[in-house]
């Protein structure tokens, strides 16, 4: 049975993943709009639609990951899974934002460009978020009663490490 703290940590994990997915695709879509256009002609509505769709996709894919109990991954596998989910979510968002999906008329080039930029942004975020635990000023003296200190853990999450570990451990 999950505790209230576990539910909070999982909710924060879902919000963190969905928020980053939405933000990454929003800015990737605006970047794909080009630099030769003015701020007024940027695809704001399309970018917002893609961002919302990516957030929904992220929640669905993360829920599937939790249901499969594939959340407690080390840094690199976790980052690769996040990048894959970001790429798929971006493509799914592009399809969802298309007025009528027609495989022959769909702009696959733009959708793949946005998905690639979004995935690279996810890689950058994951590398920048990699948390190096601060070393203790003086290590505590081990005692016979005390359990050994846990190994420091690197994560691609922007959540505090303790919240992230509480969310992803089974």
Cα–Cα distance for residue pair 98/86, rounded to 1 Å: 18
Number of residues that this document lists for the chain: 170
Phi/psi for 12 (5° steps) reads -60, -40
pLDDT score of 117: 93
Cα–Cα distance for residue pair 83/20, rounded to 1 Å: 11
Q: Is the dihedral of CA 84, 120, 97, 13 positive or negative?
A: positive
Query: pLDDT tens per residue, the chain (170 residues)?
Result: 889 999 999 999 999 999 999 999 999 888 876 666 677 777 888 889 999 999 999 999 999 999 999 999 999 999 999 999 999 999 988 888 876 666 677 888 888 999 999 999 999 999 999 866 555 556 666 666 766 666 678 899 999 888 999 999 98
Per domain, the residue ranges of the chain are 4-132+150-168
Cα–Cα distance for residue pair 161/109, rounded to 1 Å: 38
List, for residues 115-154, the tens digit of each pLDDT value. Answer: 999 999 999 999 999 866 555 556 666 666 766 666 678 8
């Amino acid at each position: 049975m999950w505790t209230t703290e576990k539910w909070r940590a999982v909710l924060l994990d879902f919000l963190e993943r969905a928020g980053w997915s939405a933000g990454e695709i929003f800015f990737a879509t605006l970047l794909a709009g080009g630099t030769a256009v003015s701020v007024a002609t940027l695809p704001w509505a399309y970018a917002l639609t893609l961002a919302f769709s990516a957030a929904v996709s992220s929640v669905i894919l993360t829920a599937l990951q939790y249901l499969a109990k594939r959340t407690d991954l080390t840094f690199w596998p976790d980052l690769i899974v996040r990048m894959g989910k970001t790429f798929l979510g971006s493509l799914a968002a592009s399809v969802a934002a298309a007025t009528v999906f027609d495989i022959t008329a769909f702009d696959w080039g733009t959708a793949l460009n946005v998905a690639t930029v979004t995935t690279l942004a996810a890689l950058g975020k994951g590398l920048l978020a990699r948390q190096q635990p601060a070393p203790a000023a003086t290590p505590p003296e081990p005692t016979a009663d005390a359990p050994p200190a846990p190994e420091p853990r690197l994560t691609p999450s922007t959540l505090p490490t303790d919240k992230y570990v509480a969310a992803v451990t089974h």
